[in-house]
Structure 1
Amino acid sequence: MNITASRSKELIEIEEKHGAHNYHPLPVVLERGDGVYVWDVEGKRYYDFLSAYSAVNQGHCHPAIIDAMTEQARTLTLTSRAFHNDKLGKFNSYMTSYFDFDKVLPMNTGAEAVETAIKIARKWAYEKKGVAETDAQIIVCDNNFHGRTTTIISFSNDENARKNFGPYTPGFIKIPYDDTEALEKALQQDNVAGFLVEPIQGEAGVYTPADDFMRRSKELCEKYNALFIADEIQTGIARTGALLAVCGKCTCEGSCERQETYARPDILILGKALSGGAFPVSAVLADDDIMNVIHPGQHGSTFGGNPVAAVVAIAALDVVKEESLAQNARELGNYFRKKINEYIETTDTVTLVRGRGLLNAIVINDSEDSDTAWNICLKLRDNGLLAKPTHGNIIRFAPPLVMTKEQLDECIDIIIKTLKDFE
């Protein structure tokens, strides 16, 4: 690590000495955030181009979200679900209206929400579709990322996440991503409960499928009586230029919030930006004919649906609507890809930019096992912008959706200037 600042070096050494080594962070130590900016312990300011993997869509420490959280924290933080609280009903009503579903089941983390969706889908298959108990299969895609629980890594392609963590949980069928022929073939099995899919594969390098992949997948699930399960933990809440990425290529001219989804999920999984990065909040939404298979004692969480989470989520979604963040993401995303494509025409350093809204990635012209993308991110850090590689030679760019065009222009200049140093 090339760290000259003594305080940063000391803090990183303490973290590595006493903490499990389950992450490989960029060597920068942050202590403050505001909007699109973060500051390190030496006081240097950076543009945040990761947004905590799209958890901070509303910007760091958005005052409306922080005010809601602190006010509730002074009043009542947790009752568990052993008792009712005065905020959960409002949250449930708000969420189901906002996303147009009958029911919501609140949890805390994204992985918990995925596990919840899997349990609901299996129970639905046994009780509504007539699949023999323990025989249900869920179709998933190659190169997926839905979390790192034991169940989820059982159907992961990431050997780093899988190796030496078995035995693995059965009950999953893997198919290629963006392949409706493979999906239809898999759906023809009688014991399929559903199809779990990311509308855009973020961890796989912002792999963006064909515009009709979500719609065709939904149609096939309907044809074969299987649930269409959309994992929108990273892509949802305005990140891709629409409220949900299952809208596909968004064509609406006004507010996205009340548009019919391009491929309405049977089960919708949300997290990350559902709290604006202020508090762990996740949720699974479905209509009554699916969600009502869950009865008391069959699933739960001590912290799921707690009062702080409820008010934080409502405030975070209010910000998305009131500040037109989906529209801003769509406009700035189109502009970002246009400017990066103009640069790509002049260089061999970058071969491709892809994405939707303000979830984008560039592919560096080097092998996946090279350190070029990592070194570029180190140089971006030196130049005042924070990003991380994924899959070796891919760099993801996902700034907070509150970014202005003037700020984005400055960031594009930093990115292109940095990339030119590697030509």
Structure 2
Amino acid sequence: MSSPRIALEDRYCAHNYAPLPVVLSRGRGVWLWDEDGKRYMDMMSAYSAVSFGHSHPALVAALTHQAGQLAVTSRAFYSDQLGKFLQLLCEMTGMAKALPMNSGTEAVETSLKAARKWAYQVKGVPDQQAQIIVCAGNFAGRSTTIVGFSSEAQYRDGFGPFDGGFVTIPYGDAAALEAAITSRTAAFLVEPIQGEGGIIVPPDGYLAQCREICTRRNVLLICDEVQTGLGRSGRLLACDHEGIRPDGLILGKALGGGLLPVSAFLARSDVMDVFTPGDHGSTFGGNALSAAVAYAALSLLRDGELIEAAELRGQQLRAGLRAIRHPAVRGVRGKGLLIGLELDPDLISARTFCERLMENGILSKETHHTVVRFAPPLIISADEVDAALHIIEHVFATFPTTHMEVCT
């Protein structure tokens, strides 16, 4: 029988999601409990937003303390929390300045405005002619501007007309970037790993090549690390794997510690300085409560232990997944604790696999109908990874392999 809470949500909420049929009521660490008390391992982390685990005591303490002091005043005034948060954020990432927002979508929109205004004021692109290069398979948010440059038909369907100003190239192809740049190109917006696109990892050296091309052609390199940033990939930033620094950096999700929506666009000074009072803003962006929680979240990463753990546990999880022998397995890819298990949809639907995982105590979600995501909180232990692998192997065993050639 369907839960009355599911029925209530279905009755009053827009059907813009297709959730798995589980009603969650409590979370702690890597674990979630449903309304009936059944426990599940969270292998999704709210698309990386819960990188520190559910109800992390240090983050809950920062939230409750600050909520009792000051929460929101808007940036019409200064607060005693924002400056120190942005200082730590810039120092840890090596960026010059930051502009705080709330959602990842807002931070991406901020980066687009900055890139265009920089193109007109600094680079000298004729007014209204700036172009931004993006990659096929990208996912940067849900605003009309952003879905306007998506290559996913469903994200665009029924939401036009779109403004334009974007050029799409294949992902992972540095030569295509070089060929697409013109005198009107303002920026190249790229995910170091495509998350929603299916956990797609580009060829080694790709970002370094893009960095060289953008520098030589006077184009801003903007890395969208809303999902990959803040330890998720086994480095503080995914672009750290290739030792490059972008001109613009977009962070979100984990920045709010799994408690609040917090995001930021960071950039070098000449890019950020195109903004003047009144150009851009947000009622809630940079509020004292968010700043205090984000400062606490960054503090958990400062000693590098969680980031190193993400690298080690990610290696363990990928190795375990690659050891599974089943004809439906097409591949395992990812970095750190951002991992995609690709399935043959003719043999096992990724949605069906996630439903079977749920029945056995693991929560995850498919993407693009063929890929199961495994992105647990960075605090997951080696024993918990082994327990997850045991369940995943058991779930595969529930799908028959009769008349199928087992992969070797």
| TM-score, L = length of structure 1 | 0.93
Summarize deviations over 1:146-178 as a string: whole Å, max 9, x none. Answer: 001000000001111111100012100000000
Q: Which amino acid aligns with 2:215?
A: E
Residue 292 of structure 1: CA displacement? Answer: 0.6
The match for 2:327 is: 348
Counterpart code for 1:293: V
Shift in Å at residue 288 of structure 1? Answer: 1.1
Corresponding residue for residue 88 of structure 2? 94
Other structure's SS at 1:75 match: coil
- Conservation of the 8 A alpha-carbon contact between 1:58 and 1:320: no
Counterpart residue number, 2:122: 128
* Among candidates 132, 137, 148, match of residue 154 of structure 1: 148
Gapped regions of structure 2 (runs ≥ 5): 401-408
Q: Which residue of 2 aligns with 1:232?
A: 225
2:172 and 2:203 in contact (8 A); partners too: yes
**Which deviations, in whole Å up to 9, do the C-alpha atoms of 1:301-340 show, x marking residues without a partner?**
0111100010000101111234711101111111111111
8 A contact 2:107–2:251 mirrored in 1: yes
**2:249 is the counterpart of 1:268:** yes
Q: Does structure 2 conserve the Cα–Cα contact (< 8 Å) formed by 1:349 and 1:422?
A: no
Q: What is the rounded CA distance, in whole Å, between the counterparts of 2:108 and 2:283 in structure 1?
A: 17
Counterpart of 1:44 in structure 2 is: 38
Identity %: 49
Distance 1:323 1:268, change over 3 A: closer
What letter matches 1:32 in structure 2? Answer: R
Cα distance in 2 for residues equivalent to 1:287 and 1:195: 15
Q: Would the aligned equivalents of 2:328 and 2:348 in 1 still touch at CA under 8 Å?
A: no
> Retained in 1: the 8 A contact 2:316–2:385?
no
SS at match of 1:351: strand
Q: What is the alpha-carbon distance in structure 2 between the residues aligned to residue 353 and residue 40 of structure 1?
A: 29
Give the count of matched residue pairs.
400
List gaps (5 residues or longer) in structure 1: 250-261
Match of 2:280 among 299, 307, 311: 299
**After TM superposition, where is structure 1 displaced by more than 3 Å over at least 4 residues in a row?**
none
Q: Secondary structure at the match of 2:137?
A: coil
CA RMSD of aligned residues (A): 1.2
Q: Deviations over 1:330-369 (max 9, x none)?
A: 11111111111111xx3212120110001001111224xx
Cα-to-partner distance string for 1:6-36 (whole Å, 9 max, x where unaligned): 6xx1101100100101111111110110000
1:396 and 2:373 aligned: yes
Secondary structure of 1:78's counterpart equals coil
Q: CA deviation at 1:280?
A: 0.8
1:329 corresponds to: 310
The alignment status of 1:413 with 2:398, answered yes or no, reads no
Preserved CA contact (<8 Å) 1:214 1:248 = no
1:221 and 2:202 are equivalent in the alignment: no
Q: Which residue type is aligned with residue 316 of structure 1?
A: A
Separation in structure 1 between the aligned mates of residue 164 and residue 351 of structure 2, nearest angstrom: 35
Match of 1:358 in 2: 337
Query: C-alpha distance in 1, partners of 2:397/2:344?
Result: 13
- Partner of 1:75 in structure 2? 69
Contact preservation (8 Å) 1:341, 1:353: yes
- TM-score between the two structures when normalised by the length of structure 2: 0.96
Choose from 135, 159, 165 the match for 2:159. Answer: 165
2:185 to 189, 192, 201: 192
1:185-234 alpha-carbon deviations (Å, 9 max, x no partner)? 012x1000000000000001101111211111111100100000000000
